Structure 1
Amino acid sequence: MLSVIDLRGSAGERIDYAAVVPRAGFDVAAAVERVLPICDDVAARGEAALAEYSERFDHVVPEHFRVPASALERAAAELDPDLRKAFELSIARRRTVSAAELGEAEVRVEVAPGAVVTQRMIPVNRVGLYVPGGLAPLASSVIMNVVPAQAAGVRSIALASPPQQEFGGLPHPSILAVCHLLGVDEVYAVGGAQAIAMFAYGVAGLCDRVDLVTGPGNIYVVAAKRALKGRVNIDSEAGPTEIAILADASANPVHVAADLISQAEHDPLAAAVLVTDSEELAEAVQAELALQVPQTKHSERIGQSLSGEQSGIVLVADLEQGVEVVDAYAAEHLEIHTADAAGVAARIRNAGAIFVGAWSPVSLGDYAAGSTHVLPTGGCACHSSGLNVKSFLKAVHVIDYSREALESIARDVEVFADAEDLPAHGAAVSRRFAT
């Protein structure tokens, strides 16, 4: 089912492993051309444009684009008790980790007597959170976006999710219920690029513009975020989900296959990659996939993902080469199934999140580990982090020098300014001390 790439003969060679390991094609630039007219139309026509695109793309126009508070309350009241317990556990654990992520709100440094620089971490004022509702209604993404924003101290939170025909033009009840549990009452039944445009431009009489847009979505949501970046800040351009597993002969092929399947379940473009130095394990995983995939509810979608160009098995000479390969791949989710999983995990530099050992599957992180599941994809983990409390904070330096402190470095500032041919910069200091 999975294609195989054999790198065992190339150990020690200078190879661009990032280009060798399979990855899905995701042409955001082409999608931008399609979403720009939609974004411009929402900016120009507001609710009339939202109604047109809701009919075209979601095949239903909500009675109210802003979900009534009564609908949020009803969704929470009608939750299955076991599901409510699972939601509340996930919220509690994400809150615990978010509180630790917050750290110091202010750092004060006295660089010299009377010369103080303070860094203040200030939450953005208003954020727009997007929650997909396509192949899977991601109620978990509500938690992953809202909880860190609340922990950061964001004053105003709005959330959008596509309207569903099945639910009378409202977003999925699970999404509404989690919003209610979290105290988020500004919820919009708006999906796709038009939701991002609504957040970026604002819609008169409906939704005020936001400062930051976060949350995953399909390629058109990603394209809209790219097109509107600058007018509004964004978290990332998240592509299809991906899992990489670094495993040796000690790994359980049943677990490895199940974990590959779990992420392939998201989307036909989801990537599932096994990197191993054990040919026997690779064969056993292939056999397990053949057994497990037909038993799953979404076997067709999973089969497309696992047989796609973005998925495969990479055979390496040893774990040393395996670490180099997964570091170059910079997976959104990386599982370590080796004899010394913690030791190997400590050597990884590039991954959105690292799951250590047989008892830390990616699906745990998707729901209840306490970690974030909004993570960089497409190799962006080499330079970007997952969504966390700091994503909703901006750093502001406050400079407070006394007369004596400025005077002690006035000449240094003048010399520096002259070197850049900006003498007025130096004069702004020297004139303060002119007699």
Structure 2
Amino acid sequence: MKKTLLLSLSFLLHAEDDGFYMSAGYQIGEAAQMVKNTKGIQQLSENYEKLNNLLTRYSTLNNLIQLSSSPSAINDARDNLGSSSRNLLDVKTNSPAYQAVLLALNAAVGLWQVTSYAFTACGPGHNQNENGGIQTFNNVPGQNTTTITCNSYYQPGHGGPISTENYAKINQAYQIIQKALTANGSNGDGVPVLSNTTTKLDFTIQGDKRTNAHEGDKYKYTWTHGQYVPTQWVDGSTQSTTENINTTNNAQELLKQASIIITTLNEACPNFQNGGSRYWAGISGNGTMCGMFANEISAIQGMIANAQEAVAQAKIVSENAQNQSNLDTAKSFNPYTDAQFAQSMLANAQAQAEILNRVEQVVKNFEKIPTAFVNDSLGVCYAMQGGERRGTNPGQTTSNTWGAGCAYVKETITNLNNSIAHFG
């Protein structure tokens, strides 16, 4: 009955010569048809074709006019639409959109954790006052440490050591996401639901900067053409630094930070110790970040972009929420006076359709990452290997964090599949 009634609205409104009835009726008809079941939400083009075919059957117009006079089925459809939107925007575990965002964030953070410890060096290069200078960073995933000092004398650049400036840029984004993940404790679900866009995130990043350093001991290598060269800057005057972070703990802001991590890694393209050999299962290449991890960087960039679009569509859903006053059941639907909520229904339904589409794309992006790398590094979380524990919970950084992404891949993918099945 509901389906017949809503299709009847499309018949009726299409029949008007001035086109207004067609517009409002089509919007209600398609929106309601799309939310009749969730799989219908994902079949926008198919429904459009069906409606166009049905709209040619003018012989049933009189009967359809009678059916469209009752607003009860329209209100039912709006209730269904509102319910599905709340399941997308107001919950965490059962929301495929939220889980997709979480997967993208953890993948970006995880890639930094499993690769940064193996960089050849970090620092300003030949001039201690350039490229971000000499800095010490705390709460970072160093090898058996949480403190890294960027004091390398080797000149940074694409395919070489990473500059202090680029390390600082990535570290700031990393610390913001880490702080967000632990906003509710150590379980890693501190990112608010998608409907919450106003929660603040205020904290400080502690470190130090060094000036007036001097060149350290000099060594001769095969590539120095017989000359002795220093490898790092040493000593100097140290000054503690405090960076105040005042941002918003919401999905869109955090995805922006995740993008900074991946984009900077790709553009800086630091090289790895030992040519990156035997560090990661399923990974090989020329010994640089952008060479060895080109596939993984591309996959995570795709995950972030699709998650960002899902969040953008979530805003449209919120702006067209179906919890406002329903159509008065005591009066017939009037396409002239009731057109606004018809447009709102369609916008809401289309946005939900696109959210689910983007969620599926996030999963497909992730599936491009080799399983061996996920199981060996990116997804490792509190795993016992060689009698030692690897990895920490999302948002935590200890001396065991390095080399283990702890992207909660298994848990997040399970939640994603369950939530998608719930909607399907």
Normalised by the shorter chain, which TM-score bucket? Answer: under 0.3
Larger Rg over CA atoms: 2
- Normalising by structure 2, we get a TM-score of 0.23
- Normalising by structure 1, we get a TM-score of 0.23
